Amino acid sequence: MKHLLRLAAPALLLVAGAAAADTIPVTVLSATVKDQHITNASVTVQRNGAASVEARTGIDGKATVETEAADDAESLLIIKMQGYSTLVARCPCKGLTYALSPVMKSLDGLRIVLTWGKKPDDVDSHVVYPGNHVYFASKQGADANLDVDDTDSYGPETITLEKKHLGETYLYAVHDYTDSDKPNTPNLSTSQAKVYVYIGQSLVRSYSVPTGKTGNLWTVFRINGDGEFQDINTMGGTTASGDALGAQLAQASGGAITAVAATTDAMTQAKELNRAGEAAYHAGNLDGAIDSYRSAIDLYPEYGQAYSNLGLAYQKAGRPAEAIWANRKAIALASGATAPTVRASSYYNIGKLYEESGQFADAQRSYEQAKSQKANPVYDKAIERVKGKQ
């Protein structure tokens, strides 16, 4: 990864003319082909109150953005390339490597991409699920692959799940292999590690390693047997490695998870963003609606209404895999007197997406789940319809 081709001068385009206050160099690689540089990708830095500036990557995947925006958490880096999911990352970004995920076709697949900074040298991705532990020494599992393994800083490391199996729990964690014998090391916490989760053509979740912590194991998220994503995002220490670490993670995968409560201010902002998303949706601006709903969820991860709205927007935008993901989370978060109606509607929407893609057994199961929540002749007709197609 360090032996790059000679730099081709990236084309720099000022979207608005302003004096540069910072220089932000980044490298863009493929998430699925080791050391493959992405040429001519659009790299933009955005910040409220500052001019947006775009650069293009050269043949070595490098771009340098000259911007008046400071390289801090108030700035966003946006990387776009045809055929790949758009990547949106919060800075600091200077000197980091980013990996673009090719668009996925599977309705039930996902891709997990890990990147980090210069130190530690070797940070590893681990996914455990029943009978499987996918990592550098066991690169293939049932419908899963470690596409890219990196041992010399920056990443990416990429695991692709071609198909999630309902009824099975998946746990994803990051292990500081360089410091595997130092369970109280601060190095992983200072590594600038980030995890990006892609479904279909979209980046649906992103995580940053907790800072100010010790530990060589970062447990990031879980997918439960119903397909619901559950954030964990905790640090811990271990001296286990290989199969022993897999067994430790498998045991932890069934533990209880306590959702981190959003602050009152965060919930207020999230509700404002949700309303903005609804306005954009009704105006036909689906991309704007999706961005607003996702921003609301980033602030308030347990915001069920935003997930319901996001599922509808994804469905309308022709992104079925993403719509299924959002609907499953809406089902999990449904509460109160309207919960059966919300769950039934979401299961029905999932069933329609499976039916449209020709996955009739999956569609039937989803329609039956809708019926189990609330009686409706529409669900009965849907069940009979897909039975006749199998």
Of 55, 80, 99, at which residue does a domain stop?
99
Assess if residue 381 is contained within a domain: yes
Residue at 258 is within a domain: no
20: confidence class by pLDDT, cuts 50, 70, 90: very low
Residue 219: which CATH number? 2.60.60.30
| Assigned token pair, 216 | 């060589």
* 290: nearest Cα among 319, 328, 330, 331: 319
Claim to verify: residue 47 and residue 76 sit in the same structural domain: yes
Do 277 and 247 belong together in one domain? no
Same domain assignment for residues 242 and 283: no
Collapsed DSSP state (helix, strand, coil) of residue 173: strand
Q: Which tops the pLDDT comparison, 70 or 171? A: 171
At residue 218, the 3 state secondary structure works out as: strand
202, 232, 252: which is the final residue of a domain? 252
Residue 2: inside a domain: no
Long-range contacts of 252-259 (CB under 8 A, 24+ apart): 252/171, 252/219, 253/128, 253/129, 253/169, 253/170, 253/171, 253/222, 254/169, 257/222, 257/230, 257/231, 257/232, 259/231, 259/301, 259/302
Q: Which of 205, 228, 252 is the last residue of a domain?
A: 252
For a pLDDT cut of 70, what percent of the chain falls above it?
95
Q: For residue 119, which amino acid is it?
A: K
Q: Is the pLDDT of residue 16 over 60?
A: no
Both 235 and 141 in one domain: the answer is yes
Domain match, 229 and 330 both:
no
Residues 127 and 94 in one domain: no
Model confidence at 8: pLDDT above 80: no
Mean of the per-residue pLDDT values of the chain:
91
Within a domain: 5: no
The confidence score (pLDDT) of residue 255 equals 80
CATH code where residue 85 lies: 2.60.40.10
Give the pLDDT mean for 48-56.
Answer: 88
Residue with tokens 């090719």: 102
* Statement to judge: residues 95 and 108 lie in one domain: no
Q: What is the pLDDT of residues 231-284, one digit of tens each?
A: 999 999 999 999 999 999 999 888 878 777 889 999 999 999 999 999 999 999
Domain that holds residue 73: 12-99
Q: What share of the chain is helix, strand, coil (3-state, %, to 5)?
A: 30, 30, 45
Pair 133, 165 in one domain: yes
Count of domains observed in the chain: 3
| 334 within some domain | yes
More confident site: 43 or 150: 43
Does 7 map to a domain? no
Q: Looking at the structure, do residues 375 and 235 belong to the same domain, yes or no? A: no
Tell me, what's the pLDDT at 4?
Answer: 38
Look at residue 259 and tell me if it is in a domain. no
Nearest Cα to Cα of residue 34 among 148, 197, 135: 148
For the residues 32-57, what does the mean pLDDT come to?
Answer: 92
State the angle between helix axes of 320-333 and 339-356 in degrees (0 to 180), rounded to the nearest 10: 160
Residue 18 pLDDT class (50, 70, 90 cuts) = very low
Question: In this structure, are 84 and 128 located in the same domain?
Answer: no
Whether residue 2 is predicted with pLDDT greater than 50 in this model: the reply is no
Q: Is 281 found in the same domain as 194?
A: no
Cβ pair 87, 47 in contact under 8 A: no
Kindly tell me the sign of the dihedral angle through the C-alpha atoms of 101, 315, 328, 338: positive
The CATH number of whichever domain residue 362 belongs to comes to 1.25.40.10
pTM, whole model, 2 decimals? 0.88
Instruction: Read off the pLDDT of residues 184-227 as tens digits, 9 standing for 90 and up.
Output: 999 999 999 999 999 999 999 999 999 999 999 999 999 999 99
pLDDT at 14 over 80: no
Same domain for 207 and 108, yes or no, is yes
- Tokens of residue 318, six digits: 């022709």
- Quick check: is 117 in a domain? yes
